[in-house]
Homo-oligomer: A and B are copies of this chain.
Amino acid sequence: MAWAQREGYDGYALSFDYGQRHRIELEAARRIAAALGAKEHLILRLDLRKIGGSALTDDLAVPKGRSEAEIGTGIPVTYVPARNTIFLAYALAFAEVRETEHIVIGVNELDSSGYPDCRPEYIRAFEQLANLATKAGVEGKSRFRVHTPLIRLSKADIVRRAVELGVDLSLTWSCYEPTAEGWACGVCDACLLRLKGFKEAGVADPIKYVR
């Protein structure tokens, strides 16, 4: 959102309460949307637990303490089936009704965990779909674009970019399995990649970790 505002867009935020273990990220999203002055912040409830199939929504164990090589290999159990397609489908509806053709999503290909729906070719396919799927697209009013300002950045570059844009990183959240007190676990894939990114960027990570 900070990137989009810097580019001159108004910020309309969309978050999803999909039964994720780390619902605490929705509190982070609320704080960030408020801090950045979003025009609107819509939080939608999705029934993904009824579908299942992921460690982020089911009672499967979230991997911990994996090495970088392990994190980089294969698609992990934290993959949520078709999740970004569901997110982008709602974003498309939201964009069409609010009369914009610009959608921004913070997916990250490099330094990530091999999720298929975080790759540029996936995003391009969604753009094609968007223009065939909608009234605005078919009538030629909109040429939908899905912007992915973080997609090719390393986690270190993302930290640097956030600092450049003046984002308060203490408001952000990454951990898949927070403690009851709202501290990050420090050992899930998301924590490990985040910690490595801050370290490489030479920036202190302002959030609280158990270890």
Contacts and interface: CB of A to CB of B under 8 A. Distances in A.
Contacts of A126: 129
Interface residues of A, number: 44
A76 to B, nearest CB: 10
A60 interface: no
A159 to B, nearest CB: 28
Contact of A121 (B82, B93, B119, B132): B132
Given A44-B50, A129-B126, A129-B129, A135 B81 contact: yes
A121 B128 CA distance: 11
A81 B53 contact: no
Interface stretch (A84-92, A163-171, A175-183, A202-210): A84-92
15 contacts: A42-B51, A46-B46, A51-B90, A51-B93, A53-B96, A75-B135, A81-B135, A85-B92, A86-B89, A116-B137, A122-B132, A122-B133, A125-B133, A126-B129, A128-B128
Interface of A: 42, 44-48, 50-53, 75, 79-86, 88-90, 92-94, 96-97, 116-117, 119, 121-122, 125-126, 128-130, 132-135, 137-139
